[in-house]
Amino acid sequence: MKKVAIFTSGGDAPGMNACIRAVVRGGIYHGLDMYGIVRGYSGMISGDIKKMDSRSVSNIVQRGGTVLKSARSMEFMTPEGRKKAYDTLMSHGIDGLIAIGGNGTFTGAEVFFNEYQIPTVGCPGTIDNDLYGTDYTIGFDTAVNTSLEAIDKIRDTADSHDRVFFIEVMGRDSGYIAIQSGIGGGAEIVMVPETHTPLKKVISTLKDGWKRSKSSSIVVVAEGDEEGHAPEIAEKIKKQVGDKLDIRVTTLGHIQRGGGPTAYDRILASRLGLGAIEGLINGEKNVMAGIVNNNLVYTPFIDTIQRPKPIHEDLLRMVHILSI
């Protein structure tokens, strides 16, 4: 293996830059020529590929976003698009790939590998923490801390006005951000896609809290909850309780994807980036590098995509007990 290209794809996540830096410098350390593909699979198709040296990744370990930019490519989902991508990679002499991203990125990588067999190793980069094969994904810790900061601020005003706030955090299919920021922020209720929280239960918990002299309540809602988005849930509850509860809604949105990565994310990203490039050099292919119980492991893409990563029951139980 001589020439390896790296790309970021799907939703960006804080720490992706630290990961790019580790992959590029790790590859150069081991004598490889390193390339960066701009805008993920789209750049692979259009040929937006550039040589990367050690200095090209200077001063990025602390920066949010991704210097290689990111995209979700519809064209890569077609056989014609993937053929174009393969031809482009061949014209640059690329013989190995490092993919940083989430579920969609590895679904693409799995299909591409089965068709063209270019050895590929992935790094889990998504704020959602919804990938099997790693305890934590790059960006998750930063996103939780960002949400937590917002929840703390909302708690101040909620308390001053004796209000109930529904705060929506990201997580289309996963409640990891919701549960962690909910526990950290002392939320009264956390609603996640993994388990159903009936509105009746939400109302009774809020009313009980009031009876126990609570002056404010926070309900953290993951965007993928089956009862709907936070504004919708709040509306339904308002209809049932009338003016008994003073309800407000805040949607945190993409603020959770930005900002400089936490120390935890920088270190995780560096470890995974180096682990991915060294794995590729040692013959790993079609796998994602992850950290499980503090050990570097490689998990087949197919498992990272298909196997569930449930939220630990203890965490949900804890929200209830700790908010009495």
Residues in Cβ contact with 160 at an 8 Å cutoff, skipping those fewer than 6 apart: none
Terminal alpha carbon distance of the chain: 58
**Binding site residues, ligand F6P, CB under 6 A:** 11, 102, 126-128, 170-172, 223, 257
Q: Is 263 exposed, middle or buried (0-12, 13-18, 19+ CB in 10 A)?
A: exposed
Measured from the CB atom, the residue of 105 and 217 that comes closer to ligand F6P is 105
DSSP-derived pairing of the beta strands 287-292 and 295-300: antiparallel
Measured from the CB atom, the residue of 257 and 266 that comes closer to ligand F6P is 257
Measured from the CB atom, the residue of 96 and 102 that comes closer to ligand F6P is 102
Least distance (Å) from ligand F6P to the CB of residue 223? 6
Report d(CA 146, CA 221) in Å as an integer.
Answer: 15
How many angstroms separate the Cα of 200 from the Cα of each of 96, 162, 204, 233, 240?
Answer: 53, 21, 6, 11, 9
Measured from the CB atom, the residue of 43 and 96 that comes closer to ligand F6P is 43
Point out the catalytic residue in the list 12, 128, 130, 265. 128
Measured from the CB atom, the residue of 141 and 223 that comes closer to ligand F6P is 223
Active site residue 314: no
Least distance (Å) from ligand F6P to the CB of residue 143? 8
Residues in Cβ contact with 220 at an 8 Å cutoff, skipping those fewer than 6 apart: 147, 151, 167, 169, 178, 179, 181, 182, 185, 187, 189, 190, 191
Buried b (16+ CB within 10 A) or exposed e, 277-287: bbbbbeebbbb
- Please identify every residue annotated as catalytic: 128
